[in-house]
Structure 1
Amino acid sequence: MGKYNIKRTAAILIIVTIIEKLLGFGREMVIASQFGASGLTDAYNAGYLIPYFIMALLNAGLVNVYAPVFISEMEVDKDKAWDKMNSISTYLMIILFVLTIVGILFSEKIVGFIYSGFEQDKIKITASISKLFFIGVFIYSGSIIEGSLLNCFRSFVYPIISISLLSISTIIWVLLFGGTANINSIAQGYIAGALVAVVMQYIKIRSISNRFGINFKPYPQFARKFFGLLFPVLIATSISQANVFVGRIFASYLPSGSMSYLNYGNKVVELPITLFSTIIATIIFPDIIECINKKDDRKLKIYVNKAIVTTLIFLIPSFAGLCVLNKEIIKLIYQRNMFTSENTINTASALLYYSPTIIMYGCTAIISKIYYSMKDTITLMNISIFTIVLNGVLDYILMRPMAHNG
């Protein structure tokens, strides 16, 4: 891809991502306005997190493994590459279907085990939400597979649009059917958006190639290679996501609303990370793969250095702004109707302590692509194990004196 194309693609992605993030904030604003920061929103955040864990694993695994494997296979035999990836995708969806059924059947027991600090009534509400999100995440998993494939063809916009569809449908559903107590409307809107996203990306893929589809033919040798690369990524991602779980588990022992403060604050922090580092990492990923395959270290260093410098130019001011204006930002985004001034203060404090992670996560998003391109997923797994242990220890120590800020 030439420089002009990279700049043009980056500009388009930034515009689309800004729209997607604004819609995401719109969704959070509607939820905050409708339900505030309460036991209900804690139940939503807890219930969503369990099936989201599966989606995050799939997303990280496919985004970082699908592209290197598929691109390598395409260079050897295009037709066989499609057959193999269709087979992998088909069996992945079968596995996810089984996990979805298990999640629905045992949701209350799973919720009770993970969020042992919740009272029984809150466990039941959380389990009800979790069942709906299991369905939604299973449907959206098809969209993730499609998006990973589109990234291989440098079609980056459609996967971002698919995320926007989730926000749009959730906003509409909550406004129409939310009331002040129907917290399930959030999950119902998610399901509707996931269906539209799957159909939209399927149409786009078919416009690129008519080879995409279901394939039950097994390719044992290729499957071992693919899952051999995927498994360490899943472990690393599961440990990374466990960081979120650890925080939520401790938050379940804190007063109602604590989990919501963490979620609302985290959503704000995600904006600059996604807008700058994630977009840049996504754009340069195919080029990093190409440099690794051709063993062109000089060009690889140029790509990575420019990506990190560009990211820091935007992330350092973002970090400073969130530190200084955290209360004003939260008030502007969330404070209305059911979201009170007390909610603003508590969410702003969570945002303040989340702010330093912007720079670390921003650089990690780019550097990790090098390891994925080299198919070195073991190193990332080991790093993730260390971080989850450290996070758990610090959460335990800091929760008592600092509440949700710890």
Structure 2
Amino acid sequence: MFKAIFTNSFGILFSRVLGFLRDMLTASALGANIYSDIFFVAFKLPNLFRRIFAEGAFTQVFIPAYAHSKHKGVFGANIFLLFLSIILTLTLLVNILPSLATELIAVGFDAATIELAAPYVAINFWYLPLIFAVTFSSAMLQYKRHFATTAFSTALLNISLIGALFLSQDKSHNEIVYYLSFGVVIGGILQLVAHLVALHHLGLFKPLAGGLKYFRQKANYVKVETQKFKKQFFPAMWGNSTPQVSAFLDTFLASFLASGSISYLYYGNRIFQLPLAIFAIATSIALFPSIARYIKNNDEQKARAYMQRAFWFLAYLLTASTIGGYILSYEIIWLLFERGSFGANDTLVTASVLQMYMVGLLPLGLQKLFLLWLYANEQQMRAAKIATYSLLFYIFSALALITPMGASGLALAGTISGFIGFGMTIKAFGIKNFYAIVASKNALYLLGGSVVLTVLLLLFKDFIATII
């Protein structure tokens, strides 16, 4: 278990370090203004779909369905062609009507800003079909227990964007956004090539090629399997997507705030996503095949033992990350972003946003672990209902907090919905089952360690303040 977790974590960490370098260069080149807002809006929707697909929903339904299929090649080809045709159609529509798509993403933009942003939205959207092909390939690789390629491949996107920023030095803000947009597409191509090489190395092209070759003759053989997949996929997608949809709505609502608000949310969320990805997401990806196998074999005792080990692993790491991220929020933003066009006031606002995000790290991270139980037991619809209630709480909280707190209020609304979702997920998992996991000496160690860490970080913060 831990070998797969560490492979995922290290790959994600490597990618995120490059991502922070990318964000540092972006902040220096564009700052927090209308042009940075435009790029983040343009990249928001395809990136939203990337997170929904790549961080669980597709894989959690595809792997069990693929494993049970009697015609794996035909089933895989059918799912790939079905989703790719829908996504390509959506991408073409966005490129035909880019202004309409932009207006739907950022309603608060005025007409001139929408026209300025529309070409970038059209370019960035070509990342979506590429990343779906990457996600499909990733699911095939995970079926073979191969995690490294997917974990490290996001680094290729960041390398592409860093290259775009270097090539666009001394260019206007308008040209920089063009370079970044094409960098997104090139990064998607590089990610796909890496996965195709891995598929070839593991011999997975043969069943897919056979499935495509005999697709017309044998499509009826997998009709029932495909219908079952679609029935399970959409609730699973919705259940996994609440944080991403909330982030998308952040952009929608922040477009009504002062210029730069979208960027503050983006930079703050990028920091927040680091521990969430390298700990919670990496653990859930690595754990799911084992949990699903134990549940399938009616061995819930081993499944719960895996859950307990993973729970305390995450609880320690996420608690430490929450305390560190909250207390040192200003210092983190100052160190990473305050240079060039990104000024001191930008640091203050972004640090406040980061603090509101960090409060929700523990419940959001642990929820991903307990959702595995629901998916392994094929309770996708129940997970979808939890996601729906969480999203409704986010909307009400966001509308209540946006006026008094601005961008920070939107971040806090996401945290509130995270607590609601976590509580409902624990209820679905079973209060007694949850108590059996947390009722140990680890709870006292966690509490004592948290107090000690808080004191040490406050002292460290005072020391840093004398330097800054």
Please give the alpha-carbon distance, in whole angstroms, between the structure 2 residues aligned to 1:344 and 1:32. 11
Please give the alpha-carbon distance, in whole angstroms, between the structure 2 residues aligned to 1:316 and 1:271. 14
Please say if 1:321 is aligned against 2:338: no
1:354 corresponds to which of 354, 357, 361: 357
Please say if 1:32 is aligned against 2:35: no
| Helix, strand or coil at the partner of 2:109 | coil
How far residue 116 of structure 1 moved from its aligned partner, in angstroms, is 2.2
Aligned residue number for residue 64 of structure 1: 60
Please give the alpha-carbon distance, in whole angstroms, between the structure 1 residues aligned to 2:12 and 2:241. 25
Question: CA, structure 1 residues 50+9, in 2 after alignment: closer, same or farther (shift >3 Å)?
Answer: closer
Please say if 1:233 is aligned against 2:233: no
2:183 corresponds to which of 162, 178, 189: 189
Question: Which amino acid letter does the alignment assign opposite residue 135 of structure 2?
Answer: I
Question: Which amino acid letter does the alignment assign opposite residue 61 of structure 1?
Answer: A
Question: Which amino acid letter does the alignment assign opposite residue 162 of structure 1?
Answer: S
Aligned residue number for residue 392 of structure 2: 389
Please say if 1:199 is aligned against 2:202: no
CA contact (8 A) 1:14 1:275 kept: yes
Using the aligned pairs only, state the percent identity: 23
Aligned residue number for residue 44 of structure 1: 39
Q: CA RMSD in A?
A: 1.6
- Single out whichever of 225-234 and 239-248 deviates more from structure 2: 239-248
How far residue 288 of structure 1 moved from its aligned partner, in angstroms, is 0.4
2:160 corresponds to which of 166, 169, 175: 169
Please give the alpha-carbon distance, in whole angstroms, between the structure 2 residues aligned to 1:106 and 1:284. 42
Aligned residue number for residue 3 of structure 1: none
Unpaired runs of 5+ residues, structure 1, are 1-5
How far residue 351 of structure 1 moved from its aligned partner, in angstroms, is 0.3
Please give the alpha-carbon distance, in whole angstroms, between the structure 2 residues aligned to 1:127 and 1:368. 37
How far residue 12 of structure 1 moved from its aligned partner, in angstroms, is 3.1
| Helix, strand or coil at the partner of 1:162 | helix
Please give the alpha-carbon distance, in whole angstroms, between the structure 2 residues aligned to 1:246 and 1:7. 35
Aligned residue number for residue 345 of structure 2: 342
Please give the alpha-carbon distance, in whole angstroms, between the structure 1 residues aligned to 2:96 and 2:242. 25
How far residue 180 of structure 1 moved from its aligned partner, in angstroms, is 4.0
Please give the alpha-carbon distance, in whole angstroms, between the structure 2 residues aligned to 1:8 and 1:393. 41
Deviations 1:379-404, CA, capped at 9 Å, x for gaps: 11111111111111111111111111
Aligned residue number for residue 333 of structure 1: 336
Question: CA, structure 1 residues 122+378, in 2 after alignment: closer, same or farther (shift >3 Å)?
Answer: same
- Single out whichever of 202-211 and 56-65 deviates more from structure 2: 56-65
Deviations 1:57-82, CA, capped at 9 Å, x for gaps: 43343122111212233xxx4xx212
- Single out whichever of 333-342 and 206-215 deviates more from structure 2: 206-215
Aligned residue number for residue 423 of structure 2: none
CA contact (8 A) 2:333 2:347 kept: yes
Please say if 1:119 is aligned against 2:122: no
Deviations 1:205-253, CA, capped at 9 Å, x for gaps: 1221222346243332121011111121233345553312222221111
| Helix, strand or coil at the partner of 2:125 | helix
- After TM superposition, list the pairs within 5 Å mapping 1:213-228 onto structure 2: 213=209, 215=212, 216-217=215-216, 218=219, 219-228=222-231
Aligned residue number for residue 433 of structure 2: none
Question: Which amino acid letter does the alignment assign opposite residue 204 of structure 1?
Answer: A
Q: TM-score, normalised by structure 1?
A: 0.93
| Helix, strand or coil at the partner of 2:73 | helix
- Single out whichever of 322-331 and 8-17 deviates more from structure 2: 8-17
Question: CA, structure 1 residues 254+124, in 2 after alignment: closer, same or farther (shift >3 Å)?
Answer: same
CA contact (8 A) 1:206 1:212 kept: no
Q: TM-score, normalised by structure 2?
A: 0.81
CA contact (8 A) 2:105 2:251 kept: no
Number of corresponding residues: 396
Deviations 1:165-213, CA, capped at 9 Å, x for gaps: 1111111012102634121222211111111111111121122122234
- Single out whichever of 117-126 and 352-361 deviates more from structure 2: 117-126
2:383 corresponds to which of 360, 380, 385: 380
| Helix, strand or coil at the partner of 1:21 | helix
Please say if 1:297 is aligned against 2:300: yes
Please give the alpha-carbon distance, in whole angstroms, between the structure 1 residues aligned to 2:140 and 2:46. 22
Question: Which amino acid letter does the alignment assign opposite residue 281 of structure 1?
Answer: S
| Helix, strand or coil at the partner of 2:406 | helix
Please give the alpha-carbon distance, in whole angstroms, between the structure 2 residues aligned to 1:17 and 1:33. 24
Please give the alpha-carbon distance, in whole angstroms, between the structure 2 residues aligned to 1:321 and 1:56. 25
- Single out whichever of 83-92 and 269-278 deviates more from structure 2: 83-92
Aligned residue number for residue 8 of structure 1: 3
Larger Rg: 2
| Helix, strand or coil at the partner of 2:368 | helix
How far residue 148 of structure 1 moved from its aligned partner, in angstroms, is 1.3
How far residue 26 of structure 1 moved from its aligned partner, in angstroms, is 1.1
Deviations 1:283-326, CA, capped at 9 Å, x for gaps: 11110011110010100110011111100111101101111110
Please give the alpha-carbon distance, in whole angstroms, between the structure 2 residues aligned to 1:58 and 1:285. 15
Higher relative contact order (CA 8 A, sep 6+): 1
